[in-house]
Amino acid sequence: MKLLAIDTSGKVASAAVTDGSVLLAEKSVYTKLTHSQIILPMVQQLLDDCGLALSELDGVVCAKGPGSYTGLRIGIAAVKGIVMGCESLKCAGVSTLEALAWNSAAYRGSIISVMAARKGIIYLGVYSSDGERVVNISPDRVCPEEELSALGFSEALITGDCCEYVKGKYFADKPNVKCALPADRLQKASALCMAFEAEPSIEVSADDLAAAYLQDTKAEKDKAHQNS
């Protein structure tokens, strides 16, 4: 499949175009601008550089979360708009934690994906890779960081925006639990393409594409507080 991918789930804005196992173009920017300002011009630039029109693609995929509430909404809205404007395109959302694991798919063994949620709380996903394919072995969740102590891994790869902190605090005495390479610790849109290529059954309609926040939004928390 020729795929366009968009990841706006964190501080990195990333877009990629792939053709099967071939990465045609990718750009990732650790940006202080809002993703709404940067992502669509980035997509257009990549398509222009590849000499492709949207109608020549097979599908569009985005990070569906967890991550920044605003960032996720921007990416999902962009994909919905693209797909609704070109109905021949397939559409899919991929877990941000799974995509982080796919960044290090060449690693053979357990991959622990971690993202900072708020003080003392993390987003956590545990995956396994055979060097080519990544599979989930423990459901993505939001949890106290202390749950990392119970994982019991003596050998694993940690990835994500707080992997160095996690390694130093919870796995410092385990030399075979290592951090991913710096270039692979943050979101890269090409990983979304790999995940969709490996599991095309995750395709959904544009109407059904939705964020997986893993925790209540601030508005939901405020409403619950008012009703309590």
Q: What is the dihedral of CA 161, 164, 166, 167, to 10 degrees?
A: 150
Dihedral sign for Cα 197, 202, 203, 208, please.
Answer: negative
- Pick the closest to residue 77 from 34, 47, 40 (CA basis): 40
Q: Hey, what are 39's tokens?
A: 């992502």
Angle between the N-to-C axes of helices 69-85 and 35-50, in degrees from 0 to 180, rounded to the nearest 10: 40
Residue 177 sits at φ, ψ, to 5 deg, of -100, 110
Radius of gyration for the chain, computed over Cα atoms and rounded to the nearest angstrom: 17
Residue 217: per-residue pLDDT? 53
What are the residues whose beta carbons fall under 8 Å from the beta carbon of 173, sequence distance 6 or more?
none
pLDDT digits (tens, 9 = 90+) for 135-160: 999 999 999 999 999 999 999 999 99
Instruction: Tell me how crowded residue 219 is: count the other CB atoms within 10 A of its CB.
Output: 9
For the segment(s) 98-184, the CATH number from 2.60.120.10, 3.40.430.10, 3.30.420.200, 3.10.20.30 is: 3.30.420.200
Q: Where are the domains of the chain?
A: 2-97+187-227, 98-184
The H-or-E segment that residue 168 falls in is helix 163-170
Distance between CA atoms of residues 17 and 38, nearest Å: 16
Q: What is the b/e burial string over 146-173, where b = at least 16 CB atoms within 10 angstroms of the residue's CB?
A: eebeeeebeebbbbbbbbebbbeebbee
134 close to 113: Cβ distance less than 8 angstroms:
no
189 close to 13: Cβ distance less than 8 angstroms:
no
List the chain residues with pLDDT less than 50.
218-225
Model confidence, pTM: 0.93
Same topology between domain 2-97+187-227 and domain 98-184:
yes
CATH class given for the domain over 2-97+187-227: alpha beta
